[in-house]
Amino acid sequence: MKKILITGTAGFIGFHLADALLKQGHAIIGLDNINDYYDPQLKLDRLKTAGLSASQDQLIADENTSSLAHGQISTLAHDSKPYTFHRLDLKDRPAIFGLFERERFDTVIHLAAQAGVRYSLTHPQAYVDANITGFLNILEACRAYPVKHLVYASSSSVYGKNTDMPFSVNDNVDHPVSLYAASKKSNELMAHTYSHLFGIPATGLRFFTVYGPWGRPDMALFLFTKAILEGRPIQVFNRGEMMRDFTYIDDIVEGVIRAAERPARANPLWDGASPAPGSSDVPHRVYNIGNGSPVKLMDFIHALEDALGKAAEKDFMPMQPGDVPATWADTTSLEADTGYKPGTPVGHGIRRFVEWYRAYYDIR
The domain spans of the chain are 3-207+249-291+328-343
- pLDDT tens digits for range 319-336: 999 899 999 999 999 999
Q: How many whole angstroms separate alpha carbon 146 and alpha carbon 263? A: 13
Q: In the prediction, which pLDDT does 80 show?
A: 52
**Which residues pair with residue 153 across a beta bridge?**
205
- Going by C-alpha positions, the residue among 44, 12, 43, 14 that lies closest to residue 29 is 14
| 180 given a catalytic annotation | yes
Residue from 157, 156, 110, 123 nearest 38 by CA: 123
Per-residue pLDDT of the chain (364 residues; tens, 9 = 90+): 899 999 999 999 999 999 999 999 999 999 999 999 999 999 999 998 988 755 555 555 433 333 333 334 455 545 555 888 999 999 999 999 999 999 999 999 999 999 999 899 999 999 999 999 999 999 999 999 999 999 999 999 999 999 999 999 999 999 999 999 999 999 999 999 999 999 999 999 999 999 999 999 999 999 999 999 999 999 999 999 999 999 999 999 999 999 999 999 999 999 999 999 999 999 999 999 999 999 999 999 999 999 999 999 999 999 999 899 999 999 999 999 999 999 999 999 999 999 999 999 999 8
Length of the chain: 364
| Structure confidence at residue 17 (pLDDT) | 98
Exposure of 359 by Cβ count < 10 A (0-12 exposed, 13-18 middle, 19+ buried)? exposed
234: β partners:
314
Among 119, 180, 194, 357, the active-site one is 180
Q: Are strands 149-155 and 234-236 parallel, antiparallel or unpaired?
A: unpaired
DSSP 125-141: HHHIIIIIIHHHHHHHH
**What residue type is assigned to position 307 of the chain?**
A
Tell the burial category of 25 from Cβ atoms under 10 Å away from its Cβ (0-12, 13-18, 19+): exposed
CATH architecture of 3-207+249-291+328-343: 3-Layer(aba) Sandwich (3.40)
